[in-house]
Amino acid sequence: MATAPTELLLVRHGEADSNRDGRFGGWSPVPLTERGRAQAARAAAELVERRPVAVITSDIVRAVETAAPICAALGVTARHEPGLRERSLGVFDGLAFAEAEARYPDLWRRLIARDPDAVPEGGETAAAVFARVSGAIARIVADHAGQRVVVVTHGLALFHVFSYVCGLGVPSPDAPVFVLVDNASITHVEHRAGDRWRIVTINDTAHLRGM
């Protein structure tokens, strides 16, 4: 009998204050908006139908708040995994885009131009984020072999998950593809024998229809 795949239901957190207000979220403790909480509830109702056995979440507030109704619906306790955090941009975290541009004009221009060496003070390089996120996904797969689990994380972190699953390695400025999924969307991937991956769905937002 073939070994059952390990299924990851990857959820981006619901809309947060930073998304609504045009700010860098990063590691800042911004909460969900009212709309974000409603999105999380919709995601929870959808995920109950898929019967996952566990919920693993980034330990940043907006992800934890998204995981809460999912855990309540499933009757489980979330496991916090710091490796699933969003990329930190150091001194940019929590700043409005206009504020960051005004305070750090040169660094802002380089960052927007996707200069890989443009890392704000205290921020993370793309290589550091990829190592952290891919390590977290590898641990989750090892801990939940053959099971279906929910993973709640962030937009750029999910792009690094995509790069890992597709074998693309550390995202680079000249990468031929970029993936940014919507708030409270569900992306379904399977890890199979031989360290192979299957992408089932990307950015599924059917449960958010009408919002």
Looking at every residue in the chain, the average pLDDT score rounds to 96
What average pLDDT does range 129-137 have in this prediction? 98
**Whole-angstrom distance, CA of residue 154 vs CA of residue 16:** 11
Residue 207 confidence (pLDDT)? 98
Residue pLDDT, tens place only, 84-125: 999 999 999 999 999 999 999 999 999 988 898 899 999 999
Query: For residues 113-138, b (16+ Cβ closer than 10 Å) or e, as one string?
Result: eeeeebbbeebbebeebbbbbbebbe
Class of residue 150 by CB neighbours under 10 A (exposed 0-12, middle 13-18, buried 19+): buried
Q: Is the pLDDT higher at 175 or at 181?
A: 181
Q: What angle do CA 74, 80, 84 make, to 5 degrees?
A: 110
Q: What domains are there in the chain, each with its CATH number? A: 6-90+127-208 (3.40.50.1240)
pLDDT band at 1 (very low <50, low <70, confident <90, very high): very low
Q: What angle do CA 93, 205, 160 make, to 5 degrees?
A: 45
Residues classed as catalytic: 13, 86
Cα 59 to chain centroid, rounded: 11
